[in-house]
Structure 1
Amino acid sequence: MGCSLNTGPPLGKWSHGADQQRSGMRHAFDMFAGVMLAQRGHLFPWSPVCLAVGIGCYFALRVEPQLWVLITLALCGLITVLLSARVGPVFAPLLSALALAAVGFSLAGARAHLVSGPVLDFRYYGAIEGRIVAIDRSGSDAVRLTLDRVVLERMDPAVTPERVRVSLHGQQGYMEPRPGAVVILTGHLSPPGGSVEPGGFDFRRHAWFLRLGAVGYTRTPVLLLEEPGAGQWLFKARMWLSARVQAQLPGETGAFAAALMTGDRSGMGQGTLQTLRETNLAHLLAISGLHMGLLAGFVFAAVRFGLLLNGHTRHNWPVKKIAAAVALLAALGYLSLSGGSVATQRAFIMAAAALTAMMLDRRALSLRSVAMAALVVLALRPEALVSPGFQMSFAATTALVAVFEQVSLWQQGRQVPRWLNPVVGLVVSSAVAGAATAPVAMAHFNMLSQYGLIANLLSVPVMGAIVVPLAVLAALLMPFGLDWIALAIMGLGLDWILGVAEVIASWDGATRAIIAPDWQVLPLLAFGGLILCLWRGGGRAVGLVPMILAVVLWSQTDRPVLLVSDTGTLVGLMTEQGRGLSRPKGAGFVAENWLENDGFGGSQQEAAQRWPGTVEARIALSGLGDLEVVHLQGKRAVGRWSSCHKGQIIIASTPITLSGGCQIFDPTTLRSTGSLAFWASDTGIKMVTDRQISGHRLWHGMPKDDFKLASQTQ
């Protein structure tokens, strides 16, 4: 008898298999190295993308990270950047990407802590004193004041919000709100509201980064306590210029002109704004790349032409560089005077990069300048990443630069009539910008403008040829009191744009309601679009894969069968005809967002008619699977109930105590859960709370015990 120790394959076969495995790994590495090396010189535009990934991860968290986590990630990012230079050209980009993501995460967290301040945690009614630092209009078309140096009756300054925003309703008397004036009023204040539905727009986060600790309204006149003092000269200059322009051009035309020249939209009515949105012309109001480019281009051309008229300056001065420098100063002045929104900052940085490149005899516009603008904006204001303005602005700019790079390559060696270039440029730019921004607009605003391209083709040339040049001329003539001449001609151009918007908005099918997508859709679309625009070589077509996946996911989006507002004042039940609402008035902002997210649109009054119950009594019963939902609106309705039974869900707008085995959601409970969504599934009804999705963050101001309660509520 004997035994063999050879229990595995022969050594030669094992060695051969290992060699094959090593050969496969070496081949895969060579392919990866070839891909990375092929991108050398074109990777910088991916830098803001990596930074944005880290910022996005911060905002996606459900629990606020500790400060030591932010500091550690920032240090690790810096160390990784130093190490990336030693690992060679293949892996250095990967380490740099990780470093930028870590830095982006830390930047967002640091910014959130930097803007922290007291937030009101109860409903306040009484005297409100403060200094006017901003003037705009609310969604209900009321003038709205933002106040700092706030003083509230019987409140400790240590817990008083740094800023509050108050809408002015009712008769306001004769006091004209002026920048820097200290005013006093009697009004209602409340904490910034939460998401209108789980996973929806979080106004608390938005208000946190605006340093708003409370929002509210008043129905009594605002009284002047102190005249405007020193400081805030830019804000005062903006409002002075806005008032002067509107005095020369009354009505919506003057308000439009003031918005273009100063960024002040407080004079524009909601009807005009809605018409511009429905025709995809609202971007003409935002001081962005179009306006900054037209202004800088007009100033550059005018200065260059003026210098070329003189023989001495034409032959002895660097005319092009001087014109670029003057245009840069004009763009800087426009940025300062217009309020400096995210779109304006991005536009200025790109214009500054292009004009500086001219002065240095470099290429004026490229994806690198777009990336530089994105890096600066994200470094200064990381929260801009989640705003529609940032997303639409950079989506349009990135797509335009990438497409026109390909167009310029195609034109090389081809004879194209010169007169055709501006026509092709207008059509291509309008189509590309519209296609790039449409998914973002549909996701955030739930609306598709089906004739937006036509409206832009009819309006953008007028904006470039008449409106912006005359706006610059009006500013130059203003010291001489002759600005009315330029403004009168500028008004004709604005009247044309407003007329185009009004006519096209009246066409049948001008807009189409779009259902709100799941959270994965926009990141997938953005990732695919970035690959198409930034990647070099044949692999660019891979970007179509995530975009197609995003479209499929969007088409399969489902909506909750039942929605409950975070105050218990409104309930929405999905019916065969659309969502029915429990009341025809009140909670209008919540109702509007629910209907828009459903992709149905319509008014709250129409939706209330679909509610399967007695709306007049503010009490309604509706079957929801094996559950029965009862909505009690008002103290009288609550007073009629003393008991309930298992299988019932009681939603009340005022605190309620009932005997029985039902689930109760009144303002006390909803303060911990936030808004509610009920989903129908094969296994029954699933409830999701806003707190389960949004979590416990700085801007929620919620004790951790409340967060645990909200997470456990099922």
Structure 2
Amino acid sequence: MAVLDAVTQRRNFILFPFFMIAGLIVYRVLPSEPAFIALATLIGFTFATAWLGRDRAPIREIALLASMFALGMVLLPVHGALFGTRMLESPRYGTYTARIEAVTYNDGSEQRWVLSDVAGELDWTLPNVRLARVTVPGAYDVSPGDTITARIRFYPVPPPAVPGGYDSQFVSHFDGIGAYGTAFGDIEISKSGAGGLSRAVKDLRAAITTRIVSQLGERIGGIAAALVTGDQSRITEDDRNLMASAGIAHVIAISGLHLTLVAGTMFACVRFFLSLGHGVTQRFPIKKIAAGFGIATALAYMVISGMVIPAVRSTIMLALIFAAIIAGRQALTMRNVAIAGLAIIVFEPTSVFRASFQLSFAAVIALIAAYELARRNREDRERPQRGRALTLMLDIATTSIIAGLATLVFTAYHFQQTAPFGVLGNLMVMPIVSFVMMPAALLGTLLLPLGLEAIPYAGLGWSIEAMLWCAGFVRNLSGGFDPSPILSPVALGVALFALAWLAYFRTHMRITGPIVAVPLIAFFCLEQAPDIFIADQSQALAVRSGDRVALIAGRNNTFATTIWSERYLTVIEDAHTATGCDSLGCILSTEEGYTVALVKSRDAFDEDCRIAEIVIARLTAPPQCETAAKLVVDASDLARYGAHMIDWNGPDLPPTIRTAIDGPDRPWRIQL
């Protein structure tokens, strides 16, 4: 009955973005690049089937869903052909002239520029990539369109540090960024006078940020600037961790919450003031006029905040909602979510693999599903009368619980945080954010041209101080308790299926999908921390022996060891006392009954390969070593597959290997 109800209500359209996402995932995990002719044939066949079966509903609907899957598989290759680039395979150094396309980071002491049209005197030193991201020490007054001349060292975009970790090569390739770099010495800047709208927006954002920081100070003003212009460079790591521990880190990242509060405030205020005039209400559709102001406000906020993907996605969603009001249609529907999702997937397919898209997509689907269920329940029985304050607190608590549960898997996977006291944190903070912080930010920004922003920005600063106090209270109350699991990437697939189930059905059957997902993730999607950690771009090598994980080689508190500790919730100690090292290498006999050898010299291969079950070398191992030892990881393995994580499964089973680089021959990988 639930399936028949969903089909009757034409909810198959809601599944379109999910099938496109499934196609994107299948393309992403393929071990090698599929032939483009095969992808074109697949998409042509599915669309032809949908057209030929247009008079037979079951065939048409199935073929359309298959077409969305095929389209998803084609999106990334097409996006790569249009906007992608080759990846730099080895460092380059020289003096270059380039054009600034964007300034992506600026904290006053360091900047990051995206450069194009990189040119130099010697052709062999050119990186030959479409775009490059360069870190620049110091503060420079630059804008998109300016030309710079500087000494730059370009280097390859780094691969993931751990299996399933953030893949900067994948993202950078499709963004057209084929190299990273660092600038040295003096930089010559030639102002282009061009830049148009992008330069004007950059200057406006900088001016707003300067006014906010000058009035509220570096710490509070830095958080306020993040809320208004999206510039998070002044937020300290301590404040980030404080808000994350209280489950309110989403407050400082501009997303649907901020767009909704700002555009919603404008909508409510315009409608209220227009309603004061009786003649106006009689002659004009004030609700539709207010919706128009809401769309304009959302668009302006999106531009001022830097047009980050969450803001763009939320603006599309809000525009659909206000457009529905203007058209006299129902505003909050799952169909609007599907339309917004399709738009983002088509124009920015790599965003599907980013945490921001997954978190906001999951939260919006869950909240609208809850809204639909609540609406059906209200139709069945009368809603009990409650006080406004109690209703507000219950609504905030319910929203926080629903959004928290919907995003739990994604926050646990990407950030190793579940913030179990997040409901309390949101209960304390959201009234401040909703009724003081964002309205004050909106009013202060609107009054900036008149120089009257002092009072509303003072209220904004007070609300931020109150938010930080609440975050500190929640963190102290929780005592640092955060039972975060280590999830495998399969958990994201299970969560995606549960979201599709939740979105598709209208009846109470929709909640069975998320309910079934819980045991599936608990029994089949949990990972254990590995027994052996091998870095690819440093000397770091850590091994578990008994209850301790400690280094055999390399230094602690480096990028690799920090990522290992965060990803696998494991303390990496400095050294095993049982490790024996000399100039030829190191040997450790673990408490689990196997021996690990780190070979530093070719002279040690013969002996170490005979006495150790697992041999690790940053040299090329001889063929006889692979025959003698149970597992050998050498320089060629590390160069091709990146960091290795190894699980010892006992003497009777082969070790399990997880590598950071999957599909080393794909277009976004560095071809050796």
Structure 1 and Structure 2 fold alike (TM over 0.5): yes
TM-superposed CA distance for 1:610, in Å, is: 5.2
Q: Secondary structure at the match of 1:385?
A: helix
Give runs of aligned pairs for residues 673-692 of structure 1, distance below 5 A. Answer: 673-682=641-650, 683-686=652-655, 688=657, 690=659
**Aligned CA distance change for structure 1 residues 618 and 372 (closer, same or farther; 3 Å):** farther
Matches of 1:640 and 1:363, distance apart in 2: 75
Match of 1:592 in 2: 562
Normalised to the residue count of structure 2, the TM-score between the two structures is 0.88
1:608 aligns with 2:574: yes
Give the 3-state SS of the residue equivalent to 1:512 in structure 2: coil
Larger radius of gyration: 1
* Match for residue 223 of structure 2 among 236, 256, 260: 256
Q: Per the alignment, do residues 697 and 587 of structure 1 end up closer, same or farther by CA in structure 2, a change over 3 Å counting?
A: farther
Maintained 8 Å contact 2:120/2:126: no
- Note if contact 1:515-1:597 (Cα within 8 Å) is conserved in structure 2: no
Structure 2 vs 1, CA of residues 644 and 168 (structure 1 numbering), >3 Å: closer, same or farther? farther
Q: How does 1:94-109 map to 2 (within 5 A)?
A: 94-109=62-77
Determine the structure 1 residue equivalent to 2:362.
395
Counterpart of 1:208 in structure 2 is 173
1:141-540 correspondence to structure 2 within 5 Å: 143-151=111-119, 154-155=122-123, 159-168=127-136, 172=138, 175=140, 180-217=145-182, 220-221=184-185, 223-227=187-191, 229-231=193-195, 232-233=198-199, 234-412=201-379, 413-417=382-386, 419=388, 420-507=390-477, 509-512=479-482, 514-537=484-507, 539-540=509-510
Deviations 1:62-84 (A, max 9, x none): 11112212322332233233234
Which residues of structure 1 form unaligned runs of 5+? 1-30, 704-714
Change (3 A) 1:483 1:435: same
For 2:458, the aligned partner's letter is A
Q: Does the 8 Å CA contact 1:570/1:581 hold for their aligned counterparts?
A: yes
Contact 1:194 1:566 in 2 (8 A): no
* Equivalent of 2:15 in 36, 46, 51: 46
5+ long unaligned stretches in structure 2: none
Q: How far, CA to CA, are the matches of 2:615 and 2:152 in structure 1?
A: 32
Is the contact between residue 252 and residue 268 of structure 1 (CA under 8 Å) also seen in structure 2? yes
Deviations 1:188-238 (A, max 9, x none): 4321122223444322112212322122445x4552422363113233333
Paired AA for residue 551 in structure 1: A
Residue 450 (structure 1) shift: 2.2
| Range 350-359 or range 281-290, more displaced | 281-290
Take 1:368 and 1:74, find their aligned partners in 2: how far apart are those partners?
Answer: 24
**Cα-Cα RMSD:** 3.2
Query: Residue type of the partner of 2:117?
Result: R
Higher alpha-carbon deviation: 281-290 or 613-622: 613-622
- Residue 113 of structure 1: aligned partner: 81
Seen in structure 2, the aligned counterparts of structure 1 residues 511 and 538 have a Cα distance that, compared at 3 Å, is closer
Structure 2 CA distance, aligned partners of 1:577 and 1:142? Answer: 41
Contact (CA 8 Å) 1:196, 1:565: kept in 2 or not?
Answer: yes
Q: Do the aligned partners of 1:175 and 1:222 also contact (CA within 8 Å) in 2?
A: no
Shift in CA distance, 641/100, structure 1 to aligned 2, threshold 3 Å: same
Displacement, 1:506?
4.3
Q: Which residue identity does 1:82 align to in structure 2?
A: W
State the shift of 1:252 in Å: 2.0
**TM-score with structure 1 length normalisation?**
0.84
* 1:646 to 2:609 alignment: yes
Aligned partner letter, 1:701: I
What is the match of residue 28 of structure 2? Answer: 59
Instruction: Give the 3-state SS of the residue equivalent to 1:569 in structure 2.
Output: coil
3-state DSSP of counterpart to 1:361: coil
Q: 1:132 to 1:579 in 2, by over 3 A?
A: farther
CA shift in 2, pair 1:250/1:372, >3 Å:
same
Greater Cα shift, 75-84 or 49-58: 75-84
**Are residues 673 and 346 of structure 1, via their aligned partners in 2, closer, same or farther at CA, if it must alter by over 3 Å?**
closer
The residue identity in structure 2 corresponding to 1:147 is L
CA drift of 1:575 comes to 3.1
How many pairs does the alignment contain? 656
Contact 2:89 2:671 (8 Å CA) reproduced: no
Displacement, 1:499?
A: 2.6
* Structure 2 CA distance for partners of 1:320 and 1:552, relative to 1, 3 Å: same
User: Aligned letter for 1:193?
Assistant: P
Deviations 1:479-537 (A, max 9, x none): 11222332122111112222322343344543526343222222112212432343134
Question: Are the counterparts in 1 of residues 92 and 125 from structure 2 also a CA contact under 8 Å?
Answer: no
In 1, distance between residues paired with 2:192 and 2:457? Answer: 29
Distance 1:630 1:124, change over 3 A: farther
How far residue 641 of structure 1 moved from its aligned partner, in angstroms, is 5.8
Q: Which has the higher contact order (CA 8 A, sep 6+)?
A: 2
Contact 1:513 1:596 in 2 (8 A): no
Specify whether residues 277 and 152 from structure 1 end up closer, same or farther in structure 2 by C-alpha distance, changes over 3 A only: farther
Q: Indicate if the aligned counterparts of 2:97 and 2:148 stay in contact, CA closer than 8 A.
A: yes
Residue 42 of structure 2: aligned partner: 73
Q: CA offset at residue 103 of structure 1?
A: 1.2
Q: C-alpha displacement at 1:638, in angstroms? A: 5.1
Amino acid at match of 2:444: A
Q: Secondary structure at the match of 1:646?
A: helix
Contact 2:98 2:147 in 1 (8 A): yes
Q: How many Å separate the matches in 2 of 1:692 and 1:306?
A: 58
Identify if the C-alpha distance between structure 1 residues 532 and 656 changes in structure 2 by more than 3 Å, giving closer, same or farther: closer
CA distance in 1, matches of 2:398, 2:351: 28
Is contact 2:16-2:68 (8 Å) kept? Answer: yes
Structure 1's 685 and 186: CA in aligned 2 closer, same or farther, altered over 3 A? farther
Question: Per the alignment, do residues 659 and 118 of structure 1 end up closer, same or farther by CA in structure 2, a change over 3 Å counting?
Answer: closer
1:288 Cα deviation after fit: 1.2
- Residues 1:551 and 2:539 are matched in the alignment: no
CA distance in 2, matches of 1:589, 1:491: 35
